[in-house]
Amino acid sequence: MSELNKAIEQLRGVRHETLDHMLGHFAESGRYKELASATREDYAYCRLALQRYKTKLGCSFAELDRAKITTPLIQKLIDTIASTHPSKANHIKRYLSAAYKWGVQRGYVSSNPAKVVQQAKERMAHRMPSEDTMHNVIAFLRERGALSGRRAGAVASYVWAVAEIAYRLRLRSVEVRMLTDDSATDEGIIVVRTKGSAGNITRWSPELREAWGWLVDRRARIWLKKGTPQAKLLRPLVVAEDGSPLSKSALNSAWKRAMAAAIEAKVIGSDERFGLHGLKHRGVTDTPGTKADKKLASGHKSDAMVELYDHEVPTVNPAGRSRRFT
């Protein structure tokens, strides 16, 4: 950093010793920009979480002196977050490890305290709604989404369509947000999956056409008033109210509010709450055919992953030959 830039930052009150200072430079680095877009978005989400996480010192975790942050301190952070959100904790752990590794290589810190931090044990059994519960919730979300955003009980207008698409295409939430106009073909929807899963083209169904068309119409209405040139160039299917691509944090917040509204309206009980990822489990389970058919449809590369997502209980014949006694 030039002496002029340092002087400007000092006038602005920028503290060079903080963790967030290093994270900011990491986000502007060439290495960061080479990462997949989904990874960059996940890292941005993790940085925001660190900026919002308040410590007993009265500042956020991101405002701590990065040179004084130790492995036990990061472990305590991960353990605390993992008590309620183990997956989120592991995302933050991986992000900090990558950022500190980058920082060590470029002289921002002398060591990587996140490297040996133990990951949280994630829950393998995701909450999958029953088929009736899922359809009831989607119908409820559509009804409440039609209300004005300021009315009591209103939810984000798009959540019902996102839920329908996540279920029908067997998608993670990030994969729903990755859909664009180019994903739609005459034959079906081109599905691009993350985490090494294989993509495919899923044929249209009446429910998919309706949800897809509704999101396109909603985006058109928003873009008549708002919308950045870049967003209009990328043409994401799901956009925020300002016309930009919907972010991970925005969707997560909207879904939490939607679940809270469904519980308050007694559409579901508090023990029936489920996440968007539960709809992928429901989708894989409801895919007709054999295990091989489900593996092809879900994009999973191993039979073990299909078993994790497929909760269908097979019906089999009893053992032995039938013996009739007269």
How confident is the model at residue 12, as a pLDDT? 47
How confident is the model at residue 221, as a pLDDT? 94
**Residues 70 and 155 reside in one and the same domain:** no
How confident is the model at residue 305, as a pLDDT? 80
**Residues 157 and 24 reside in one and the same domain:** no
How far apart are the C-alpha atoms of 304 and 205, rounded to whole Å? 28
In a domain, 258, yes or no: yes
298-317 exposure pattern, b = at least 16 Cβ within 10 A, e = fewer: bbbeeeebbeebbeeeeeee
Domain end, chosen from 70, 105, 140, is at 105
CATH number at 186 reads 1.10.443.10
**Residues 162 and 283 reside in one and the same domain:** yes
In a domain, 324, yes or no: no
How confident is the model at residue 14, as a pLDDT? 55
The answer to whether the CB of 287 falls within 8 A of the CB of 260 is: no
Higher pLDDT, 304 or 160: 160
The total of structural domains in the chain comes to 2
In a domain, 71, yes or no: yes
**Residues 69 and 167 reside in one and the same domain:** no
**Residues 64 and 145 reside in one and the same domain:** no
Ranking 167-176, 268-277, 303-312 by mean pLDDT, the lowest is 303-312
Does the pLDDT at position 47 exceed 90?
yes
Higher pLDDT, 320 or 110: 110
Does the pLDDT at position 202 exceed 80?
yes
**Residues 153 and 300 reside in one and the same domain:** yes
**Residues 155 and 295 reside in one and the same domain:** yes
List, for residues 280-320, the tens digit of each pLDDT value.
999 999 999 988 989 888 888 888 888 878 787 777 777 87
Share of residues in the chain with pLDDT > 70 (%): 92
Torsion angle of C-alpha atoms 264, 266, 270, 273, degrees rounded to 10: -100
**Residues 173 and 293 reside in one and the same domain:** yes
**Residues 170 and 297 reside in one and the same domain:** yes
How confident is the model at residue 105, as a pLDDT? 96
Q: What is the mean pLDDT of the chain?
A: 89
List, for residues 113-141, the tens digit of each pLDDT value.
999 999 988 765 568 999 999 999 999 99
**Residues 23 and 100 reside in one and the same domain:** yes
Does the pLDDT at position 9 exceed 70?
no
In a domain, 321, yes or no: no
In a domain, 47, yes or no: yes
Does the pLDDT at position 210 exceed 70?
yes
Does the pLDDT at position 324 exceed 70?
no
Mean pLDDT of 184-206: 93
List, for residues 137-153, the tens digit of each pLDDT value.
999 999 999 997 678 88
Mean pLDDT of 11-18: 68
In a domain, 113, yes or no: no
In a domain, 118, yes or no: no
How confident is the model at residue 11, as a pLDDT? 42
**Residues 88 and 141 reside in one and the same domain:** no
How confident is the model at residue 113, as a pLDDT? 96
**Residues 62 and 135 reside in one and the same domain:** no
Its domain, for residue 210, covers: 131-309
In a domain, 117, yes or no: no
